[in-house]
A and B are shown apart, each in its own frame.
Chain A
Amino acid sequence: MEKVILIKIGELWLKGGNRGDFIDRLVLNIEKQSNVDKADISVEQGRIYIRTKSKAPKLEKRLSKVFGLHGFVEANKVELDYPKIKETATQLMRDKLDKLEDKNFTFRVTASRSFKEFEKTSEDVARDIGAVLMDSFSDKLSVDLKNYDINLIVEIRQEGAFLYFEDDEVKGAGGLPVGMSGRGLMMLSGGIDSPVAAWLLMKRGMLVDAVYFHSPPYTGEKTKEKIIDICQTLSEWKGSEITLYIPYFTEIQTESVKTIPDEFWTLVHRRFMVKITGMIAKDEGYQALISGESLGQVASQTIENMTATAYGSEYEVLRPLLGFDKQETIDFAKKIDTYDISIQPYEDCCTVFSASHPRTKSKPNDLMNFETKLDVDSLISKAMDKIEVYKITSDEIKKHAYNK
């Protein structure tokens, strides 16, 4: 008997001709993210297996952060020898019952047979193993196919028989393997929403990096630290380092507030953010920008304002949270471990530059007219001249030069 992690890949089966690419990418991500030796991962008959000599304690946690994985379970693999399979089933049930405190359980055996040359049908296997278990544990077990406490699953496959209990199965992160859906650049604010938006697109296979607009002295070092913490957390889901770009945003804010009415500040600043993020996307080869906006959540996130602030952008602005209520976003943030970082109370975009009554319906032309009063190019080039770049993983933060 051998322990293997059996990985279920759900949606990837639908990928037809590209299936091979998806599986290859998934195997690569599993290798990187779960620290498993490549030699221990195998793909057989469209299934991914990881051989585990001893159950690595962190493996389960790591695997649950690999996108493209529908679920996984530690199964017991035995050769296709009927007496051995029965023996293993008995052994597993004994171990299981030893762990449980109550005395009486209902159970069933669910068998499947993809290897048709095997001598018994799946009904035979289920019935025979059920009978063996009843013989051994008649004092504790009774059969109930519908309302069962324990479900022993037996899969007969060409490479062997796999036995495991249904309740040992762990739900995977779902989605598509990161790397299958291009590269996107997330505008991170330090709030609750943007990390969730980044996560959702990673879940659909996008390689996401981030931009944070730093505005000293109106935003402090602690806020930057918080952004780095968020990137560290997200990098575990991405499975590779996150590049964080930090343009210098101060002058854009201090100059614009001199000539522009306060109700438009936030919107004009957002346009600058979209422009600068677009420039980085162009320099560094990203295909889309990502924003954490949710429709109507705050004054700057009305449909009119979203349109006006992104108007003229060469890149699509993806807004995966558009349809989310705040509470739904919060629930996600808690699930992906960014919530506690996001709620640290450091000033994000300092209140100095936000009006008490921001305009809720602006037109692209309004905002572009304000821009004519500013030396937009020079302000943007100043922001880019002082850009800082970090490459961030969960255990390392490296400062980098901007590549352009």
Chain B
Amino acid sequence: MKEIYLDNNATTKVAPEAVEVMAQYFDSSFGNPSSLHKKGVEAERAIKNARNLIDKTLHVKTSEVYFTSGATESNNWAIKGAARANKRKGKHIITTKIEHDAVLETCKYLENKGFRITYLDVDFSGNIKKEELLNAISEDTILVAIMHVNNEIGTINNIDDLANSVKDKKEDALFFSDGVQALGKISINLQNIDMYSLSSHKIHGPKGVGVLVIKDRVKVEPILHGGGQEKGKRSGTYNVPGIVGFSKAIELACSNIEKNQKHFKNLKNRFLEKIEQLDGVRINSPEKSVPTTLNIGFEGVPAEVLLHTLEDKGIFASSGSACASGKRGVSHVLKAIKVPYPYISSSLRFSFSRYTTIEEIDFTCKVLRDELPKLREITNA
């Protein structure tokens, strides 16, 4: 059976080009970049090249890119590190109700450690209201954490504008954004942003690598101590093959971004066109969202049942963000955007990649058209 993978917001297939460039760093060039001999220098060169490529793509300085083990670490570091470095200035952090768990849970952790957290509401499209953000800023606000693109519904926040407004009101408040779902999908402008996190495996790179961009002007305490890598700010032996693969993945995703965006839009439009012909369907993703993410509610069909039905036909989707779907209960994002009752536990997320084809979308929509009535007959019994 042919497999149709529409769960690219959970993780992606590693691009063959990335696999190819990585191979050498498992084998002949296995050295530790911190070693002083030839083997080390060879590996260090690879890290430098990767870093240069990321700098160019994001238009930041080489010194502002820090490699991590992934976005969970990047998000933890940005928030805890900024909180600890600035706690004398204040103990207030602002975030939103629809952040990734790596941000929300870190904020909750800090809440237990005496910080005050404001969780901003979002509207039906998943966007925060700028006035509410600005009203929430007070004397002791040290950090604002707002994601660039939401992983479950695809909402895009205009972080450049938000950061600008935050700085206008309180110049020394830091602005951090989780950019995991933005990379390779929309253009990224980090001019006003203090910290920004990225993940490799969401853009056809290997798992276990991420980046935290920290602007040179920003003070952040390390959370990992040890051998003093990354200028002493992030210790731990470099994941050389991972970093090399990640950099290749960024190159592939970002050098063709216009072409890819066009492809994504075609996929999304086709999906919408077909799905809107069906009854009992609700598009949960807002109109203005990344074209790679479509969250759709199917009245009267439990999300897991539909997920397994599609799985049986070789189609892989998600019944919530992958990390969260192990937990029972309703998605905090769908709850925050007030998805109405019959849809909230009956929603699936379809997320596309540049490898997704129009034929795959057509087949998926055909399966949905055929299977939904059959399932409803049983679930409505």
Contact = CB atoms under 8 A, between A and B. Distances in A.
Mutual binders A and B: yes
Interface of A: 216-221, 254, 257-258, 262, 344-347, 350-352
Interface stretch (B27-35, B237-245, B301-309): B301-309
6 contacts: A217-B312, A218-B305, A257-B378, A258-B381, A345-B326, A346-B326
Contacts of B326: 344-346
B378 A216 contact: no
Contact of A350 (B305, B311, B327, B381): B305
A48 to B, nearest CB: 45
B308 A218 contact: yes
A257 B304 CA distance: 19
Interface residue SS majority, chain B: helix
B328 interface: yes
Given A344-B326, A345-B326, A217 B379 contact: no
B378 A350 contact: no
Nearest to A352: B379
Contacts of A220: 304, 307-308, 311
Given A221-B311, A262-B381, 10 more contacts: A216-B308, A216-B312, A217-B304, A217-B305, A217-B312, A219-B308, A220-B311, A254-B378, A345-B326, A345-B328
A352 B345 CA distance: 12
Interface residues of B, number: 15
Given A216-B312, A217-B307, A221-B311, A351 B328 contact: no
A386 to B, nearest CB: 13
B378 A352 contact: yes
Interface in B318-358: 326-328
Q: Which of the listed residues A218, A219, A344, A351 has the most CB atoms from chain B within 10 Å of its own CB?
A: A218
Nearest to A265: B381
B21 to A, nearest CB: 33
Contacts of A344: 326
A217 B381 contact: no
Nearest 10 Cβ contacts at the A-B interface: A217-B308, A217-B309, A257-B381, A345-B328, A220-B308, A254-B378, A217-B305, A352-B379, A216-B308, A218-B305
B312 A352 contact: no
A351 B311 CA distance: 19
B28 to A, nearest CB: 34
A34 B309 CA distance: 44
A216 B313 CA distance: 12
Contact of A217 (B306, B327, B328): B306
B253 to A, nearest CB: 30
A290 to B, nearest CB: 28
Nearest to A260: B381
Contacts of A262: 381
B312 A350 contact: no
B302 A351 contact: yes
Q: Which of the listed residues A217, A219, A254, A351 has the most CB atoms from chain B within 10 Å of its own CB?
A: A217
B370 to A, nearest CB: 14
Interface in B281-308: 302, 304-308
Contacts of A258: 378, 381
Nearest to B302: A352
B155 to A, nearest CB: 27
Q: Which of the listed residues B309, B311, B326, B378 has the most CB atoms from chain A within 10 Å of its own CB?
A: B378
A231 B152 CA distance: 35
A260 to B, nearest CB: 9
Nearest to A217: B308
